[in-house]
Chain A
Amino acid sequence: MAFLVTFLILFAFWIFMSGQLDWWHLSWGVLSCTLVAVISHDFLFKDIKSKGRVKETTLFFAYVPWLIYEIILANIYVAYLALHPKMLDLIDPHIIKFKTRLKNDFARVTFANSITLTPGTITVLIKDDYFFVHAINKSAAKSLPGNMERRITKVFMEE
């Protein structure tokens, strides 16, 4: 069942992307979609029955604009550092370590990616509830975990 749904989603995507409806292109589509579906059909529908998936998705899309705003800030900050003539005085890199409250795997991945995309911090490692984050200076690390973790907690309803 999961295999069939994965295959159909992939094949619809293939037709949308290629836009060619002759047998040559369609048979390549069937072949490659079957291959991908065989390898990865258990990734997409691992926990399909978990509750609140629809609300979670809606809240996730509400979280995206804020994330893009943070990404633009991050890029301006990195551009400022890269072009600053006395760059070595401004940076003070450390790996910081803090404990997370998030339990859900997907929430942790979202949090890690968000850390990577926000100003001056990138996630290095997640191990036993601890996040290891490389921060480019102390002021970049000041806002962690704080505000962003609270937003993600709200999205994934882990209050």
Chain B
Amino acid sequence: MTWIYLLFIFFQPFSKSEGFFAKFDADQEAIIIIGLGDLNQEHIPQKVAVYFGETIEKDQPQVIGHYSKKGSDIYFIAKYGFTEGKNYTVVFKKNSTAKDSEIIKDRIVVHIPFTQREPSTFVKQVFPTTDQIPMNQLKFYIEFSAPMRYGNAYEYIKLYRLPEKILEPEAFLASTDELWDPSRQRLTIFFDPGRIKRGVQPNLQLGLPLVEGRKYQLVIDQTWLDINGVQMTGTFEKNFEVIAVDRTSPDPDHWSIDIPKCNTSKPISIDFKESMDYGLLHSTLTIKKQSGEFIEGEIELKALESQWFFYPEKPWGKGKYQIIINSWLEDLAGNNLSRKFDVDLSDPADKPKNIEEILIPFEINTQSDF
């Protein structure tokens, strides 16, 4: 096939076939067909067709798009875009009654060039950042430096048992729906929860995907393509050790709160004393003044996501405030403030608390030292 591509290089930007030409115009994102100026606009769809590829299969549908005449040239704009690096065949049907699958009189192959791009995207971080993961860890968040392609994520995510580097198959729930954030820079992957839950079949069949005391490596492969279709700058590896199963809900009585002083922009912070879920730390906590007004600001997580810092946009004013924490805030094992991930109904300690939110009142009344 190489010689065909060489031919394209020689014959680009124009390809010629019995009186008509076709070329791809990257600026216009259109295939321009030259030499069929005699065709009226309304006859174009009957006489001209564009197909994906350089060979046309029986019953292959035409590429959906719009033909328009500009002077004596015909512009074809593909409704769903052209694919870089691929060939398209422009067909001129001399006999407009001919079916698409019949012998075509005239055709020209147009190559859509690749836009050369250097790899620049990388995995910024995998959360949780701790290297001590409970045996019933529920999920990982993978954060990328730029938007990624979706659809085949699980081909690029592997879990190995160390030190032998044995692949742990089916560790993650490779559902048909990939769970990206709106910017497509953060992917959520769940360990197969069926293997984490007590008494359900996958747990009984396959056991836990992670075993206490063992070491593992999560590998995110470089060949995963970013949104531009370019692979990443490198493969990302996260090594971690598995610690005991966590079947306790986070307990606010054990947390410590650090309250800033008045007229400063210093953060208020909560030390959860354990790593918490990275995503939910960004969406379950809010701060309200007694007057009901929400406080705007920025969040920072520290100490392996066990500490939450909130920096207000404006300095703290004197008064009473509340931190409102939605009860669906989870620890690493999916135990939230109201209930554990899975509940043993025969154990009174497992009884869900049925709370919607936790309110932590605090008062700012000390004058600033500054």
A binds B: no
Q: Which residues of A contact B (CB under 8 A)?
A: none
User: Which residues of B does A touch, CB under 8 Å?
Assistant: none
